[in-house]
Each structure stands twice: as C-alpha cells, then as structure tokens.
Amino acid sequence: MILLLAIGFFLTALLYASVGFGGGSTYSALLALSGIDYRLLPLISLACNIVVVAGGSWRFALAGVTPWKGAMLLTGIAAPAAFVGGMIPIDRDAFMLLLGASLVLTGVTMLIPVSEAQSEDPHPLARAMPLIAAPLGFLAGLVGIGGGIFLAPLLHLTRWRDARAIAATASLFILVNSLFGLAGQMAKTGPGAFAGAMAEALPLLIAVVIGGQIGSLMAVRVLPLKWIRWLTALLVTVVGARLLTGV
C-alpha cells in the first residue's frame, strides 16, 4: 500500500508543481482512500505541500517575478486564518465532505483558461482579493490544503497580475498557509501525532521531493500545459466525487 501511495504522491507532486501548485488536496484524498486515520491527513498533506512549493517559491523569488507587496498582503491576511482553521476539531464526515467538495472545486478551477501574456488592466474586483484571502486561509488550515489552487483562478479572472506573477503569488500563498495550517494542526493534535505521522509518511515525503523538483524544473514538457491541467482536473474531480459519495 505504501508503495502505491508513494507512486500516487510522486505523480501528484509532478503534475501540480508543473502548474504552480502544491497538491495538498489530492494528497489528502489519496490518504483518505487508503484508510489512514483522517486526523493525520492534514499533517501529512501540509508537510508534503511545504516540500513541493518551497523550491518553487525560492526560484520565483530569485527570478524577481514575485510581486512582494501584493503577495505579502494576501498571504499575511490568510496565514492567521489558516492557523485558526488548523486548530478547530472536525469530525470525519464533515472533514470528508469539505475535502471532497474542495477537490471538485479544484477540478473546476483548473479548467479555467490561463493566458501567459502580460495582463490587461486589472478588473475593479482585483482590489477585493484581500477580502477572499482569510476564508481561503481558514479552509486551507481546516482540511490540510494550501488554498492557492482557489486563489490563482480568481487572480487570473480579475487580471490581478501577469501569469508568472500570479504563479509566484500562489506558490508563496500555499507555502505560508501550509506552515501556519500545520502549526495549528500540531497545536490541536500534539507534537507526538506529528512525529508519528512523519515517521509513517517518510516514503511519501521522499516521493514528493523528487516529483516536485521534476515538475517545477522541467515543467513536464512531455505534454502541452493545457493537457496537464485537464488531466489533473479530471483526476481530482473523480477522486473528489468518490469521497463525496462515500460520506
């Protein structure tokens, strides 16, 4: 079972890193389908998220494409909410319902066309993006995701910045939310649960390190970018629907 999970985590990290995300929602879904205690899911998923997006965030920063003022505003608002979300106890059925719905919504958002060209004049709603940051951060901490998968499409739709700046912002958003969400989860479950989860998840962490690096460095040139997004959208939608029907 752990070998199959490691393969799934590797492929998830590779696909998500190639389109600028961490994969936390899909890690949680794979763990849920494998029967692992749902209370450990956010701990493992957020740790994997951090591993995948840390390198991408660093490369974006070195390349000078991160719009620090806007990115830090959104992330600074979301991070405390992610910590609070991580601290809140939630029963299994509610957790699976939220996770399944998050996956289905993730699949839908990944189908939104993304232009690599320089953004047009921002839509007036672009100024409202800080208002959505806190709810996304709360959801991120609650179910063990980064939230960037929901933030990025909104930034694209409102022409907040160009595509590379949005990818850099989403990466930073995921990284910081995952750190704060993990801190909240650890405050809820205790350091012993985290240590146990990490010992069990070591092969999975190794898998996402390798997959994330391949995805972010090579951008998975084997398939066109839009094909990768569509395949990933199909994967997470099917898994999300399966979780919802099993609640």
- Chunked in runs of 10, what are the mean pLDDT values of the chain (247 residues)? 89 82 84 85 93 86 90 97 94 86 80 62 84 93 88 86 85 95 93 87 93 72 63 75 74
Predicted pLDDT of residue 221: 53
Read off the pTM.
Answer: 0.87
Predicted pLDDT of residue 96: 85
Task: Give the tokens for residue 156.
Answer: 């694209």
Domain ranges of the chain: 2-246
For CA atoms 151, 71, 188, 7, the dihedral sign is positive
Exposed e or buried b per residue across 99-116, where buried means at least 16 C-beta atoms within 10 angstroms of its C-beta: bbbbbbbbbebbeeebee
Query: What does the alpha-carbon distance between residue 24 and residue 130 come to, in Å, rounded to a whole number?
Result: 22
Predicted pLDDT of residue 163: 77
Predicted pLDDT of residue 73: 97
